[in-house]
């Protein structure tokens, strides 16, 4: 089993690289080893190594910068997945591709299901939806939509809050954006289970789009308070406690790109199809905070 993993240095790719080694040979690339802006380079690389599966964990993820960096975001998030899917079709191999809750506009009151209408509101969201659309042209595809991804590796909300509470005496955090968190460890575990299921079933037919996220929901303000309380409990010396974190509205913290007010993902389909149990976000976040503090 030869797996081509694209995006090994990102949060998701880093976790996948460690997890998938037990399945088979993992050929993992970063942007220096495989330039996703160059379609011909992608084709040549795949033709050379002839993988048995492609996993695309790469992406242009700077949501605000994408508003002005439209061409690059399109190349990485839409065009590159299109080329990967075309090559996967030619080789008749499965492809796993990661997407985002941002394909929805966030106006629904309930968690989003895979069948809900998309309505991307930013360049980032539009290019990610374009990538999804291209990947669906390949029959043997799995698209995993995630939301509010975190880990002890790379840059994310946990790392940012841990830094800020050591530097500042108060914080203002948005409280009117709700979401379901997704740890990269959970993503790696789920992906591992999906790959093993595909390998066990020669006639596997459950290809398609799935939502993956941890159990429970929160908002950015509650999340920041949890991180602060947990860090202090673990002994981190801070200049503030969660009592000094103020809840504010999105209107009071304008961003270049529009964020969904509701990023909650319904995971019923993936749990039922692959017989999964997903942990609560607080358990996974606490573990990531502990590792992040140890590595500081």
Which positions are annotated as active-site residues? 124
Nearby residues of 101 by Cβ (< 8 Å), 6 or more positions away: 112, 145, 146, 147, 148, 179, 260, 263, 264, 265
Place of tokens 């140890």: 294
List alpha helices for 20-69, DSSP H.
39-49
Closest CA to 160 of 227, 259, 94: 227
CA pair distance 234, 284, nearest whole angstrom: 15
Instruction: Provide the token pair at 216.
Output: 């429970």
Closest CA to 242 of 256, 221, 269: 221
């Amino acid at each position: 089993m030869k797996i081509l993993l694209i995006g090994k240095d990102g949060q998701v790719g880093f976790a996948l690289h460690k997890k998938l080694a037990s399945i088979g040979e993992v050929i993992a690339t970063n942007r220096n080893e495989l330039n996703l802006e160059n379609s011909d380079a992608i084709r040549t690389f795949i033709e050379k190594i002839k993988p048995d599966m492609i996993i695309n964990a790469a992406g242009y993820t700077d949501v605000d910068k994408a508003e002005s960096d439209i061409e690059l975001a399109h190349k990485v998030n839409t065009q590159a997945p299109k080329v990967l899917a075309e090559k996967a079709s030619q080789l008749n191999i499965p492809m796993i591709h990661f997407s985002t809750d941002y394909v929805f506009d966030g106006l629904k009151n309930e968690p989003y299901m895979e069948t809900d209408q998309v309505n991307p509101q930013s360049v980032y969201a539009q290019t990610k939806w374009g990538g999804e659309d291209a990947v669906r042209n390949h029959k043997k595809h799995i698209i995993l939509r995630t939301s509010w991804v975190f880990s002890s590796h790379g840059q994310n909300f946990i790392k940012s809050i841990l830094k800020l509470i050591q530097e500042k005496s108060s914080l203002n955090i948005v409280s009117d954006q709700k979401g379901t968190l997704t740890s990269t460890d959970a993503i790696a575990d789920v992906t591992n289970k999906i790959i093993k299921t595909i390998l066990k079933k020669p006639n596997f037919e459950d290809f398609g789009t799935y939502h993956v996220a941890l159990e429970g929901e929160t908002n950015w303000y509650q999340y920041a308070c949890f991180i602060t309380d947990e860090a202090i409990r673990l002994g981190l010396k801070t200049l503030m406690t969660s009592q000094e974190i103020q809840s504010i509205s999105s209107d009071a913290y304008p961003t270049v790109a529009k964020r969904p007010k509701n990023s909650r993902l319904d995971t019923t389909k993936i749990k039922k199809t692959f017989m999964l149990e997903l942990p609560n976000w607080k358990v996974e976040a606490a573990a990531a905070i502990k590792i992040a503090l140890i590595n500081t």
